[in-house]
Every structure is written in C-alpha cells, then in structure tokens.
C-alpha cells in the first residue's frame, strides 16, 4: 500500500512577481460593454492570494506599489487602485490565519467581504470624482469572488509536490 504526502513547494520571488505582472496584463485587456462591468480585478485576486499565503513576502507596501502601476496602466485617478489594494492587502495579511483555517468554499465567502471593501473604494472614488455611482460595476466583485476558487486551485496545484513515503 502506497501512501502519498503532499507538501507545498517554496515559492520563488520570480513566480510571485510574474503572476502579478500577468494579472496586470489581464486587467489591461480591452473590455467593453457588459464585459467591462463583469470584468474581475485579476490583480486584486492575485494580491489577495499571495497576501494570504505569503504574508511576510507580499504585504501592504508591495500592494500599494502594484496599485500605482495599475493606476498608470488603466489611466485612472492616481492612487485609486493603490488605496484599494492597500486595504485588500491589509485584510489579507491580518486575516491570513483565519482564512487558511477554512476550506475553499468557506474561504470564498470570507473573501467576498474583502473584495466588497475593495470595490466600495472604487465606487467611492468614482463618486467623488464624477459625481455619480455606476452600480453595475459591483458585478465585478461577484465575478472576482467566483474566480477565487479556480485561482486558488491553480496556484495550489502549481505549489503542490507529492512525496511517496515508500521511496528512499
């Protein structure tokens, strides 16, 4: 009888940075119409994952810097994404032990609150700058939450390493 133990591989800084850069490129795709309202925030997804799993490496400072890059790439109000990602990272770092205790379904419910806070920051900034609120934009919060499970499964699968106990 063979038994396997799965352990997490150490994650290189290159992999973390490349996943954040890929998320920035995904956010930069040309969305229009209903797709623009349904567009998830890929950078927020990736940042929250890494803040939850590697809180000593990815934190508030890096999230702020990535937010500045997102502001420049989206040509939005300077600091909007930086503020939202800073709050997102704070929630991910502070709650990382609690979030890891839950299974993936329960994590998704908890993560929805963090994404809702992030999207609330986007809405408040948009309201202050433009004078109105685009309510359908909150649909992106739902799609970001729905993508949490596939993203977590994908990153965990990349990080998993199976050990066979019967091999020397």
Name which residue leads in pLDDT, 17 or 158. 17
pLDDT of residue 7: 66
Supply 110's token pair: 């908890």
Q: What is the pLDDT of residues 4-15, one digit of tens each?
A: 455 677 788 899
Supply 74's token pair: 């989206």
pLDDT of residue 151: 95
Asked whether residue 46 carries a pLDDT value surpassing 80, the answer given is: yes
With b for 16 or more beta-carbon neighbours within 10 A and e for fewer, the 145-158 pattern comes to beebeebbeebeee
Using CA of residue 80, residue 95, residue 25, residue 29, what is the dihedral sign?
negative
Using 50, 70 and 90 to split pLDDT, how confident is the model at 163? very low
Q: What is the pLDDT of residues 95-137, one digit of tens each?
A: 999 888 999 999 999 999 999 999 999 999 989 988 888 888 8
Domain boundaries, the chain: 4-164
Supply 68's token pair: 């500045």
Do residues 104 and 153 make contact, with C-beta atoms less than 8 angstroms apart?
Answer: yes
Asked whether residue 82 carries a pLDDT value surpassing 70, the answer given is: yes
Q: How many helices (H) and strands (E) does the chain have?
A: 9, 2
With b for 16 or more beta-carbon neighbours within 10 A and e for fewer, the 100-118 pattern comes to eeeeeeebbebbbebbeeb
pLDDT of residue 65: 96
Do residues 82 and 67 make contact, with C-beta atoms less than 8 angstroms apart?
Answer: yes
Q: What is the mean pLDDT of the chain?
A: 87
14-23, 127-136, 145-154: lowest mean pLDDT where? 127-136
Supply 106's token pair: 């329960």
């Amino acid at each position: 009888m063979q038994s396997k133990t799965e352990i997490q591989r150490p994650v290189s800084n290159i992999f973390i940075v490349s996943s954040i850069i890929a998320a920035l490129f995904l956010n930069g795709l040309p969305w229009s119409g209903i797709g623009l309202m349904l567009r998830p925030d890929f950078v927020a997804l990736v940042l929250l994952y890494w803040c939850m799993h590697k809180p000593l490496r990815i934190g508030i400072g890096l999230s702020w810097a990535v937010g500045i890059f997102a502001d420049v790439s989206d040509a939005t109000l300077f600091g909007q994404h930086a503020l939202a990602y800073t709050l997102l990272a704070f929630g991910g770092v502070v709650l990382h032990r609690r979030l890891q205790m839950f299974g993936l379904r329960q994590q998704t419910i908890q993560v929805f609150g963090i994404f809702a806070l992030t999207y609330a920051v986007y809405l408040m900034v948009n309201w202050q700058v433009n004078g109105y609120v685009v309510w359908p934009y909150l649909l992106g919060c739902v799609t970001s939450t729905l993508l949490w499970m596939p993203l977590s499964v994908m990153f965990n699968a990349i990080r998993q390493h199976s050990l066979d106990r019967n091999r020397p």
